[in-house]
Structure 1
């Protein structure tokens, strides 16, 4: 019986070590995507309505042959068209960058997809070139050596926070 208890303890202790070993081997990916699905839907509906209204403004009854009113209609319809397109593209999931914390190369890479869908490196910084890191409730902030804010990333899971803290500890000063 005593030997079985020791095996159980060893199994329980092996799981966390395996988790940290995995954290040292795999890059940690944090996404900038907002988690506001309702906001995205509302903005797309408003954008589509603005695009439709930019064309239907010409179907409204009124003075059809007044040149001054025609200029006003052109200005309003162009504004509604561009504003509608902008609102529909605000939360395009393909435009949000991803942050990769690579434990092997010991660097932070921020990648953003191009129009063709290929990832492009926007920022590449070694852990040793970072000034400090601060973990907050739902985010992590990375600071430059001079103390200015470099990047703020959202953290959704406690396990992600723990893995990131393990990756950065000993390399980057962690502020409380």
Structure 2
């Protein structure tokens, strides 16, 4: 009789943990903001150079230099405009830890930009996890490294550790 009460208590505690837990999404994203700012600054600089070639004092306007100057300014203008308007698409996958289904899914964006599942593993089929300061390593059952994921903050690390602690061995 005592074992039945203990099991029902453990089940209700597990259900309460599921209600409190939230999914964790870990992205493999590089620092795109810096790249976008840098490309826009270089693009604006090239556009300014393209126009300033024609208004600078002392620039040669002879017939031999004019076609080269025109070609160079058009090239600077086209490259500058393209750098200003470029949209960088991130093709790196995302790892989604689902506490309801108790699985990790790796999502990759297809050519339309929609995420597709490329790997799905239940927490029970993972061999273990090792948490470091800013990353987590997930291991397969045979001990081989399955994936190494960067963690954005200590809050994400705690949330993920809380999800995995019941099903996955966490190595120190």
Range of TM-score over shorter length: 0.5 to 0.7
Counting only pairs closer than 5 Å after superposition, residues 118-129 of structure 1 correspond to structure 2 as 118-129=114-125
Counting only pairs closer than 5 Å after superposition, residues 49-128 of structure 1 correspond to structure 2 as 92-93=89-90, 95-128=91-124
Residue in 1 that maps onto 2:82: none
The normalised TM-score by structure 1 is: 0.58
Residue in 1 that maps onto 2:11: none
Q: Does 1:173 align with 2:172?
A: no
Residue in 2 that maps onto 1:64: none
Query: Given that residues 20 and 166 in structure 1 are in contact (C-alpha distance below 8 angstroms), is that contact kept between their aligned partners in structure 2?
Result: no
Q: Does 1:158 align with 2:154?
A: yes
Distance 2:129 2:167 in 1: 10
Stretches of 4+ moved more than 3 A in 1? 18-21, 39-46
Distance 1:118 1:146 in 2: 33
Higher helix share: 1
- How many residues are treated as equivalent by the alignment? 133
CA deviation vs aligned residue, 1:17-43 (integer Å, no higher than 9, x gap): x998431xx321111111353356557
Residue in 2 that maps onto 1:15: none
| Structure exhibiting the larger radius of gyration computed from Cα positions | 2
Query: Given that residues 23 and 99 in structure 2 are in contact (C-alpha distance below 8 angstroms), is that contact kept between their aligned partners in structure 1?
Result: yes
Helix, strand or coil at the partner of 1:166: helix
Helix, strand or coil at the partner of 1:125: strand
Label 1:129 to 1:40 Cα distance change in 2 as closer, same or farther (>3 A). farther
When the two chains are superposed, the root-mean-square deviation of aligned CA atoms in Å is 3.8
Distance 1:129 1:20 in 2: 19
Helix, strand or coil at the partner of 1:128: helix
| Consecutive unaligned residues in structure 2, runs of 5 or more | 1-15, 47-66, 69-85
1:22 to 20, 23, 40: 20
Instruction: Report the alpha carbon displacement of residue 112 of structure 1 after superposing the two structures with TM.
Output: 1.1
Residue in 1 that maps onto 2:73: none
Label 1:156 to 1:19 Cα distance change in 2 as closer, same or farther (>3 A). farther
